[in-house]
Amino acid sequence: MTVHFRRARGGDLPAIVALLTDDRLGAAREAASAAGYAHAFARIDADPNQLLVVAEDEGQVIGTLQLTFTQGLSRGGAIRGQIEAVRIAGHLRGQGIGQRMIEWAIAACRSHGCAMVQLTTDKTRVDAHRFYDRLGFEQSHLGYKLIL
């Protein structure tokens, strides 16, 4: 398997949405309307502080994640890299692709001048918690959300 990582293109959108819905949580919370995804993709793609990434093998999208670069005042004006929406195709999980994708994302954050990389994951994703722990991430905060 020869996996490479690249900026997502508009034609990748159906595959990305399929990855987002490819588990119990995603299937319950993702929308059925393609219009919302197309609008979001256009805004992400136009924003220099956003990077939507796909993992590709032999022309097939097999993974995705989104990077957001946030300039802050804290930590001496540090830039943070936020990793979101990490997904690997269900039939390929456990083969090291996710690790390679996160390592690629961390390198991208370094090259963007980030002082830290952060992410959140759902409390029920116990396998993901072990995965991020193994990669050196620390559970340092308690997160809150307010759905609007």
Record the tokens describing residue 113, joined without a space: 């001048």
Rg (CA), the chain: 15
What would the pLDDT profile of 83-97 be if each residue is shown by its tens digit? 999 999 999 999 999
Domains and CATH numbers, the chain: 3-134 (3.40.630.30)
- The predicted-structure confidence for 48-67, as pLDDT tens digits, reads as follows 999 999 999 999 999 999 99
Which residues of the chain have a pLDDT value below 50?
Answer: none
Give the Cα separation of 101 and 6 in Å (integer).
10
And the tokens for 14?
A: 């159906």
At residue 17, the pLDDT reads 92
Residue 8, pLDDT score: 98
| CA distances to 44, 51, 110 from 9, in Å | 11, 11, 23
Burial class of residue 37, CB neighbours in 10 A (0-12, 13-18, 19+): middle
Length of the chain as a residue count:
148
Q: Phi/psi of residue 27, each to 5°?
A: -65, -30
pLDDT at residue 27 in the model: 60
DSSP 8-class letter at 124: T
Give 129-134 contacts, CB < 8 A, sequence gap 24+: 131/98, 131/99, 132/102
